Amino acid sequence: MSSLLPGQSSMTRESVTAFSVDLVPQAPPDSHYGLRAACRADPEPNKIDLVIGAYRDDNGRPWILPAVRKAEKILYDDGDRTNEYLPIRGMPEFTSAAQRLILGPNSIAIQEGLACSVQTISGTGALHLGGLFLSKFLPRPTPPIYISSPTWDNHVRVFGNVSLPIRRYPYYLKSSNSIDFDGMMATLAAATRGSIILLQACAHNHTGLDLSGSQWLVVAQTIRSRGLLPFFDCAYQGFASGSLSQDNRAIRLFVEQGIELIIAQSFAKNLGLYGQRVGCFHFVAAPSPEAHGTVARVASQLALLQRSEISTPPIYGARIASIVLESPQLFADWEEDLRTMSGRIIDMRTALRHELEELKTPGYWNHITEQIGMFSFTGLSEEHVAELKSKWHIYMLADGRVSMAGLNWGNIKRFAHAIDDVVRRLQA
């Protein structure tokens, strides 16, 4: 990097090297993908990969949903399809169907024209677009975004990258493996007006712990009375309980309460379209005489941001999603697929708790069946996790989060025995 090209003067060199790559430090490996790579490189045949939140069937294999396979066939057979650019805000059939799914088909926000939507690069792209929009248009000094502690660690990076001040609200009580609702509410009640509150609509990533209906109501009332802006991350609709309308109830509640809000919606998990990066950003205005003008202005600025970031969104995955969402038959097939995936995970939770209780593993394991969705926050310590990896070739995040989808009838006993072993040895 530092050598001169033939004929280049030292003057030129100085101006060229004003940016020195020597100042770029080595970044740490990603906590999820770095560990997944380590697991993949491990030659042990009985290793267990519980790192990444991606569904696996009972043979431990990725699963293409039958509804998605049918949609792919329809797309493949469609002689009229092209690979033209999509509009900047995405495929209209897709964004409308995504809106109906997340807000509910009879949503007042849709009927009254209070929502606008933009197709994004999965849920992460929607979080980023929302963060970028907020960092550009929030008043100065920029109010903070409050994120649960713990959370999906990428949340902190995504919003940090667009220079939003980040604060945390407590979410988890280690002593009882439950939600720290009092701590959460005390923090929200003290947040300055205009602060953004990031909420996970269902299947909380990292803890698997979701608020009850009455707790969501308290959160909605506090957000409204304190003048806060809720930003929902919804990556697991239908995947948590198996019911699409159960898993978006928090969002529907906020809309019914007339609260302005933002949503990042992902189709990675619920349609199994992980690598296709299918997602949608939604803004929902509070009802008011100015709401239509607000929605139009917000939509115009989102389009401008999208154009400068990715120009136009990718087409393939959005087409697949649209075919499933728009066909009554495929939609019904998909609902069945969701029940298959969520049901298998619930079975694994029951089996793991049962195994640990049969083994009389020290501690309480009821939280495993009380949590919901892709992840279990096991309560295992970093030392337990390190032992599970080195002795048993079992891989999970350092803070004890496991992807339940990595468990199946072929490896669950081994996993329970391994936990039993490390818990007993480290307490001795």
Comparing CB distances to ligand LMR, the nearer of 53 and 400 is 53
Name the catalytic one among 233, 247, 333, 337: 233
Please say if 269 is a catalytic residue: yes
Q: Which is nearer to ligand LMR, 65 or 284 (CB)?
A: 65
Q: Which of 359, 410, 420, 409 is nearest to 387 (CA)?
A: 420
Residue 392 in tokens: 């048993």
391 catalytic per annotation: no
Helix segments in 118-243, DSSP class H: 122-137, 153-161, 181-190, 213-226
CB closer to ligand LMR, 121 vs 220: 121
Active-site residue identified among 63, 152, 365, 392: 152
**Catalytic option among 63, 247, 269, 392:** 269
Which residue in the block uniquely carries the two structure tokens 């239908």?
A: 238
What are residue 17's phi and psi, to 5 degrees? -95, 20
Pairing of strands 401-403, 375-377: antiparallel
Name which of 155 and 393 has its Cβ closer to ligand LMR. 155
Q: How far is the CB of 123 from ligand LMR (least distance, A)?
A: 8
Kindly list the residues in this chain that would bind ligand LMR in the complex (CB under 6 A). 32, 52-53, 152, 205
Pick the closer one to ligand LMR by CB: 124 or 361: 124
Token pair listed for 408: 């199946």
What six digits make up the tokens of 219? 């959160």
Query: What's the CA gap between 115 and 129, in Å, rounded?
Result: 16
Yes or no: say if 353 and 368 are a contact pair by the CB < 8 Å rule: yes
Tokens representing 229 are 């802006």
For ligand LMR, the closer of residues 53 and 125 by Cβ is: 53
Question: For residues 31 and 290, is the Cβ–Cβ distance under 8 A?
Answer: no
Beta carbon of residue 36, minimum distance to ligand LMR (angstroms, whole number): 9
E-strand stretches of 258-341: 261-266, 278-284
The nearest distance, CB 279 to ligand LMR, in angstroms, is 12
- Tell me how far, at minimum, the Cβ of 148 lies from ligand LMR, in Å: 14
The CB-of-153 to ligand LMR minimum distance in angstroms stands at: 8
Of 52 and 284, nearer to ligand LMR (C-beta) is 52
CB of 375 to ligand LMR, least distance (A): 7
Least gap, CB of 205 to ligand LMR (angstroms)? 5
- As a whole number of angstroms, the distance between CA 326 and CA 313 comes to 20
Written as six digits, the tokens of 275 are 């690598």
> What residue has token string 């000094």?
141
At residue 394, the 3 state secondary structure works out as strand
115 bridge partner residues: 284
Active-site residue flag, 152 = yes
For 31, what's the count of Cα atoms within 13 Å in the CB-facing half-sphere? 13
Q: How far does the chain reach from its first CA to its final CA, in angstroms?
A: 55
Distance (Å, rounded) from C-alpha 195 to C-alpha 421?
A: 46
Q: CB nearest ligand LMR: which residue?
A: 53
Residues marked active site are found at: 152, 233, 269
